[in-house]
Amino acid sequence: MNIRKFLSRILLLLSIPFWISSCTESPFGENVISGDRSAISGKVMLDTNVVAKNALVWLEGMDITTRTDDDGEFRIEALPRGAQGGSNGYTGTLNLYYYYGNFKLTKTTLALQDGQFIYDSGPINGKGKISEPVIMQKLVDITMQLSPSYLVIGTNPQVRVDVVLTALDDSVSVFYPGNVEGTLHPLTLVDKSNGNHWTVQSTLIGVTSGPATKTIAAGDSQKRSYILGAGFIPDKNAEYEIVPYFLLKHEPIPSGIYQDPEGGSFTSLANHWKLPFEREGGKLSVQASDD
């Protein structure tokens, strides 16, 4: 073997790893791994020009739920093909739903073939990301006012909680359960420092105590007032968020959206506080006396 042939073979062997690596990249530099199209990602925004933190994202058909992060970003992965039914996985379309309690339910239709998402098709780009941010339309303004909103440890007064719902561009229906698993007009207190929470009974002012569905016309407001009794708030310095129990019922919501991946249902007494809502007010401060 002459030296020229020997050097040619060496160069060929050295070029093989580079050739293999380049086959896993798109010619447009997208770095898409061939054959791995099991995940979809995206970003969710509220039409109030803020990111949708903690929004629920649910894939129908596979009943998979995730949440957006603090930047409104999410990633959801399809079930393994063997768990989708059929020999090669699901082929067809599925809806990806986005839920935020006082915003319109929004969805993206995704196409799949043999259990894998079809990239570079419809709203999905070549990297498996929804090309444009998903924008959710606000239906109801929620304003809360506490009186008092500041408590001194040891005084332990009652707290009045006023909740005002204002319908925006269209009428909405709101469901108030009255009694949830034996607790009347539940209010959940969430410790902002550590996420500890508990749900307590309250007294509703001037309204019958049974379950009710109320319709609010576009542009109108509806107010409900609760009394949070003495003795429900620990004697320690803390900041709490007060979460009232109600659900918008203006449109059909797939039941799978309300299934908590950690167990149970988001409509239960224990889990309702986890549902994402955009609210103004509702913060309670408890502090020691300056004396």
Q: What is the CATH number of the domain that holds 108?
A: 2.60.40.1120
pLDDT of residue 29: 36
Structural domain includes residue 59: yes
Kindly report the pTM of this predicted structure.
0.85
According to DSSP, residue 120 is labeled: S
- Torsion angle of C-alpha atoms 94, 95, 96, 100, degrees rounded to 10: -160
| Shared domain check, 131 and 46 | yes
What is the amino acid identity at position 165?
L
Q: Domain of 241?
A: 140-287
pLDDT of residue 39: 96
Question: Do you find a cis peptide bond into 148, omega within 30 degrees of 0?
Answer: yes
pLDDT of residue 291: 61
Q: Report the run of H or E that residue 10 belongs to, with start and end.
A: helix 3-22
pLDDT of residue 34: 53
| Shared domain check, 98 and 52 | yes
pLDDT of residue 37: 92
The Cα–Cα gap between 282 and 62 comes to: 36
Structural domain includes residue 4: no
The Cα–Cα gap between 65 and 224 comes to: 32
pLDDT of residue 233: 82
The Cα–Cα gap between 175 and 211 comes to: 8
| Shared domain check, 282 and 157 | yes
pLDDT mean values, one per 10 residues, the chain (291 residues): 46 40 36 69 96 97 96 96 84 97 97 95 95 97 96 85 97 94 94 93 84 94 92 86 94 93 94 97 88 61
